[in-house]
Amino acid sequence: MLMAKEASFNNIVKLLEIKVKVGHKETLEGLVKEIRNGLKISIHDCGYNYVPLLVRAGLDLGISNPNELKDAYIFIKLAILLFELAITNQYDKAIKVLSDIEKTNFYQKHEKYEILEPFDKVTEYWSHPILVADLAKHLVDKLKTKNVILVNFAHGSTRAALLLSLLLKLNGFNVMHIPVRFSVRKMGDKKFRFSMPAGEKRIAKLLKKGYVLLVVDEDVSSGMTFKNAWVYLSKVFREHIEKIKTAAIMECIFPEDVEENVYIVDIKAYKVYNLLEEKRLKGFIECTYVPVILKSLAPSQIKRTDNKELMNIVINNDLLYKILKDDKQVISTFNKIKNNEDVFNKWKSKILNKEEIKKLLQNL
């Protein structure tokens, strides 16, 4: 168990005013050595930027070989504990856990495995601890139970999800964090690739007991991943949970008492689209962009793609991050776009290229 009562919510956030670094290439053995040295130099920087790569290695290797999933999950749980100890500034305990990681069967078998994390500026921005903390505060007030299953889509959201889990724990929540891979486009995943053995059944059992399932991502774009996630979840929980009620399931995917305990939330959706005056924009994947806890959809709503304004806004904003040199300018710039009716209409009317965006910005 994490012993971090002395580390308050606000102190953790203050300590984490660091530069997020996405992009790394190293063997597992080399990464552990790098972490050992990094913990001495800057425990928070090392904990946030490099320890999550251990989770990446455990998940990738575990799901690629089901026979190793149990060993991989033990390795991942130790990596999560190491992250929490580093972020809460518990150096001696962190070093001990790092030594325990080196003793695992998983590490000894895969120490020469090469971990490759591509650079991603957008993930780098939306994984910033201050943004994660803002979402955590909202969840603390919003969630109706303190028993939470936190599932994050690897790999981009891993850093943010690890911190979100920790911040919820520091606010008295009981959190089971389960990283999953659900890469529909790149890897062709059609279901959650769980880091935990029998993940579907274990989640279903906890939902029956009243746990909240919180599905987290850091960088929603077109929204297709979330749409596919709901399609997958509808099948999983229809199979595992349908029997808890004798009444027929209505249009909603889950029985009512289970549906209320399933949420999808995205850091970008929560933060950026909260700047929009409209609380709900009609049409394309409405729930994905509502700047509150995101609820499940009925099948008819999942299929709605009649209004793509939000998808255009998301993709244009992503390009805005790549154009502006100073990340801090993005929010203020988008505010100006939103407040200029002519520019905002063009911004949401279609997907723009770099030159079109630069031309629009000249009119602000």
Last residue of a domain, which of 302, 322, 338?
A: 302
DSSP of 223-259: SHHHHHHHHHHHHHHHHHHGGG-SSPP-SSSS-HHHH
Buried b / exposed e over 305-321, threshold 16 CB at 10 Å, is eeebbbbbbbbbbbbbe
Evaluate whether residue 16 is within a structural domain. no
pLDDT at 274: 44
Domain shared by 272 and 193, yes or no: yes
Answer whether 0.75 is exceeded by the pTM.
no
How confident is the model at residue 230, as a pLDDT?
Answer: 66
Which domain does 282 fall in, by range? 124-302
CA distance 48 to 184: 26
For residue 59, pLDDT over 70 is answered with: yes
182 and 221 part of one domain: yes
Burial class of 282 by CB neighbour count within 10 A (0 to 12, 13 to 18, 19+): exposed
* Res. 101: pLDDT tops 70: yes
**Do 32 and 73 belong together in one domain?**
yes
148 in the same domain as 108: no
Contacts 24+ apart (CB under 8 A), 330-337: 330/125, 331/272, 331/275, 333/361, 333/364, 334/272, 334/275, 335/275, 336/364, 337/364
In this prediction, residue 83 carries a pLDDT of: 97
Task: Check whether residue 294 and residue 331 sit in a common domain.
Answer: no
Q: How does residue 17 score in pLDDT terms, banded at 50, 70 and 90?
A: confident
Q: Which two tokens stand for residue 277?
A: 């005056």
pLDDT tens column, 191-232? 788 888 888 888 878 877 888 888 887 766 556 666 677 667
For the chain, helix, strand, coil in percent to 5 are 60, 10, 30
pLDDT at 263: 61
260 pLDDT tier (thresholds 50, 70, 90): low
d(CA 168, CA 75): 22
Q: What CATH number does the domain containing 177 carry?
A: 3.40.50
More confident residue, 64 or 241: 64
Question: What's the number of domains the chain is made of?
Answer: 3
Note whether 265 and 355 are same-domain residues. no
C-alpha to C-alpha distance for 4 and 41, rounded to whole angstroms: 21
11 within domain boundaries: no
Q: Range with the lowest mean pLDDT among 28-42, 62-76, 220-234? A: 220-234
**Same domain (yes/no): 28, 110:** yes
Residue 153 falls in which region: left (phi positive, over 0), alpha (psi -120 to 50) or beta: beta
Last residue within a domain, chosen from 80, 95, 117: 117
Alpha-carbon gap, residue 358 to 4, rounded angstroms: 47
Q: Record the tokens describing residue 124, joined without a space.
A: 């780098």
Which pLDDT band holds residue 11 (cuts at 50, 70, 90)? low
Helices (H) and strands (E) in the chain, counts: 20, 7
Decide if 321 is inside a domain.
yes
For residue 177 the two structure tokens come to 């964090």
Asked whether residue 276 carries a pLDDT value surpassing 50, the answer given is: no
Of 77 and 271, the structure prediction assigns the larger pLDDT to 77
Other C-beta atoms closer than 10 Å to the C-beta of 256 total: 11
Residue 282 confidence class, pLDDT cut points 50, 70, 90:
very low
Within a domain: 7: no
- In this structure, is residue 1 part of a structural domain? no
Residue 17 lies in a domain: no
Q: What digits encode the pLDDT tens for the residues 241-250? A: 444 333 222 2
Residues 177, 156: one domain? yes
Which pairs from 60-67 meet CB under 8 Å and 24+ separation? 60/181, 61/106, 61/110, 61/113, 62/106, 62/195, 63/181, 63/193, 63/194, 63/195
pLDDT at 299 over 60: no
- Whether 141 has a pLDDT exceeding 90, the answer reads no
- For 18-33, how does the pLDDT look when each residue is reduced to its tens digit (9 = 90+)? 889 999 999 999 999 9
Q: What is the pLDDT of residue 265?
A: 65
Confidence tier at 103 by pLDDT (50, 70, 90): very high
The model's pLDDT over 145-168, given as tens digits with 9 standing for 90+, comes to 899 999 888 888 899 999 999 999
Do the beta carbons of residue 138 and residue 144 sit within 8 Å?
no
| Cα-Cα-Cα-Cα dihedral sign, residues 240, 244, 213, 223 | positive
Q: What confidence score (pLDDT) does residue 109 get?
A: 96
Residue 299: CA count within 13 A, CB half-sphere: 9
Nearest partner of 95 among 38, 138, 148, judged by Cα = 38
pLDDT of 277: 29
**What tokens does 247 get?**
């009444």
Domain end (from 63, 85, 117):
117
- Of 36-50, 239-253, 331-345, least confident by mean pLDDT is 239-253
pLDDT at 35: 98
- Is residue 78 very low, low, confident or very high in pLDDT (cuts 50, 70, 90)? very high
The reply to whether 202 falls in a domain is yes
Residue 296 neighbours by CB under 8 Å, 6+ apart? 230, 233, 252, 253, 254, 259, 262, 264, 287
Confidence of residue 45 (pLDDT cuts 50, 70, 90): very high
Q: Are residues 163 and 255 in the same domain?
A: yes
- In this structure, the answer to whether residues 140 and 179 fall within a common structural domain is yes
pLDDT band at 268 (very low <50, low <70, confident <90, very high): low
Do residues 293 and 247 both lie within one domain?
A: yes
Domain-located, residue 2: no
Whether 319 and 295 share a structural domain: no
Percent of the chain with pLDDT over 70: 69
